[in-house]
A and B are shown apart, each in its own frame.
Chain A
């Protein structure tokens, strides 16, 4: 089983500002030249938007002006937690999950990002009906147990 990717940083501002910047102002800081579908094609995305509500979309306007959905907001709790179903460059059915928490610290805000749900590849309705899902999780747990240790 692949462990989640967990990242922690501290930023020198209160959680309210950190959360608002992360969500409403994502376009001002997101590395559109590196982390975008446009970047995968050697270009720079024009814009990145996060609709600030549960059920909202995360949208890249790519270098040709086309809107591409990266995922959706599954929890929008100002100014403490954000959860996303994440499927950049993939179909929504192949989403993995991202959680970002914002906690006050002595020097500002601790931001923790967790990206998990690799077993979701097997979490498909059709497979679950024939009892196959557990087997796919088993592939990760047994065959790839050492891949990232």
Chain B
């Protein structure tokens, strides 16, 4: 589920660092690999997890792929939690009301 994927994506310090950098300016895999001093495949794997979670979007530019922040990326987390507590509190309220009737 999306909620899980977002939390998993954010659980890794390197990915949070990458996300922070891309929030400052859109970047390519090569730029990120240079800055982090790790291989391009390793960076690509982190970018895939962030993109699959909806936190990044990617735009082809020539032969490069430019990654940028998806500003709506965290909305599913909040919507999920919003609905979660709506369901729980409504059930709590119904229970109390039904007790009062008995």
Main secondary structure of the interface of B (DSSP, over half): helix
B81's nearest neighbour on chain A, judged by CB, is A5
A31, B81: Cβ atoms closer than 8 Å: no
B74, A2: Cβ atoms closer than 8 Å: yes
Task: Report A-chain residues with C-beta under 8 Å of the C-beta of B13.
Answer: 124, 126-127, 132
B100, A35: Cβ atoms closer than 8 Å: no
A136, B16: Cβ atoms closer than 8 Å: yes
B100's nearest neighbour on chain A, judged by CB, is A12
Interchain CB contact (< 8 A) of B74 among A5, A7, A10, A147: A147
Interface residues on A, range: 35 or more
Q: Could you say which of B4, B23, B92 has the most chain A C-beta atoms within 10 Å of its C-beta?
A: B92
B16, A144: Cβ atoms closer than 8 Å: no
B16, A121: Cβ atoms closer than 8 Å: yes
> How distant is the Cα of A2 from the Cα of B79 in the complex, in angstroms?
11
Interchain CB contact (< 8 A) of B16 among A21, A111, A122, A146: A122
Within 8 A of A (CB), among B49-102: 69, 71-75, 77-78, 81-82, 84-97, 99-100
> How distant is the Cα of A31 from the Cα of B95 in the complex, in angstroms?
11
Task: Report A-chain residues with C-beta under 8 Å of the C-beta of B17.
Answer: 132
